[in-house]
Amino acid sequence: MEKENSLETTQEEMEKSYSAACAVALVVGGSSGIGLEVAAKLASKGYRVVNISRSAAPSDRIQSICADVAEGNELEDAVRSVGEEMGRIDVLVYSAGFSMAAPVEHAKEKDYRYLFEVNYFGALRAMQACIPFMKEGGGKIILVGSLAGVLPIPFDGFYSSSKAALDMLAREARIELKPYRISVTDVQPGGTATGFTFKRKVYSDEENGGYYKELNKAVAALGNMEQGGMSAVEVADCIMGALEREDMPVTLVCGGKNKGYKLLDKILPQRMMERVNARSYNQ
């Protein structure tokens, strides 16, 4: 009996040792779109992948914890449960997002506060919960931003503002976390063909106070831009390329066309770029 118990203990220790050797990747917003594709690719690379979102990821290879990033401490509690159970978090990919088409003049406080809670404060809180589990062994943090944080989307200005804030958060956090070998990157996709297009909250003609023609034209142009843009798989490949680098870039624009737009924003006079950007959304 003692010999049998000894064998069981040895096997248990081996399992724990093997478990500790497997890198843990946490994806927030990994039930669909870009987040799901990233989670699937991480799982194929041998990571133990956990998704945190309101609905479970449709894959047996991805463990899911159902939580709402905008509700109380659900996000922090979920992150800590992962870190405590697995003893580490090596990668965080924050891909949760919300978009709303509304005029600045008539946007409701509850809507734009919710948007920032999901897009910006959720990312910040996920980082704060993950960092203690990364400090000992280092880690990598990917914030899924947007080219909209560089080139504003008419009537989706709160989304653009939240992504601009996310970019600055990533750039500043890199400086603070470098001594702990924790790298942070803001990945900036342009239009991407996912279901995100059809989940956008769009203010009705009655709600937008006379901006309905301009708003509807901008929403239609944005939808076409997204559905005719990169695939979620292509963006996920871009993110995986960053994660595989020992020294991740500060910011990473996905796609040659999008890199061209960002370059134009740097070299063209601001007024000229404003006109180019406005015409892209039929303004």
What CATH number should be reported for the domain holding residue 46? Answer: 3.40.50.720
Return the higher-pLDDT residue of 13 and 106: 106
- Assign 22 a pLDDT band (cuts: 50, 70, 90): confident
Q: If we measure between CA atoms, which residue out of 100, 119, 139, 113 comes closest to residue 28?
A: 119
Query: What number is the average pLDDT over the span 198-220?
Result: 95
* Domain-embedded: residue 32: yes
Output phi, psi for 118, to 5 deg: -75, -50
* Domain-embedded: residue 15: no
Whole-model pTM over 0.75: yes
* Domain-embedded: residue 213: yes
* Domain-embedded: residue 7: no
pLDDT of residue 4: 44
* Domain-embedded: residue 154: yes
Q: Which domain range does residue 204 map to?
A: 22-280
* Domain-embedded: residue 11: no
CB neighbour list of residue 51: distance below 8 Å, 6 or more residues apart = 27, 28, 29, 30, 31, 35, 36, 39, 57, 62, 63, 64, 65
pLDDT of residue 164: 97
* Domain-embedded: residue 219: yes
* Domain-embedded: residue 85: yes
Quick: pLDDT tens for 110-168. 999 999 999 999 999 999 999 999 999 999 999 999 999 999 999 999 999 999 999 99
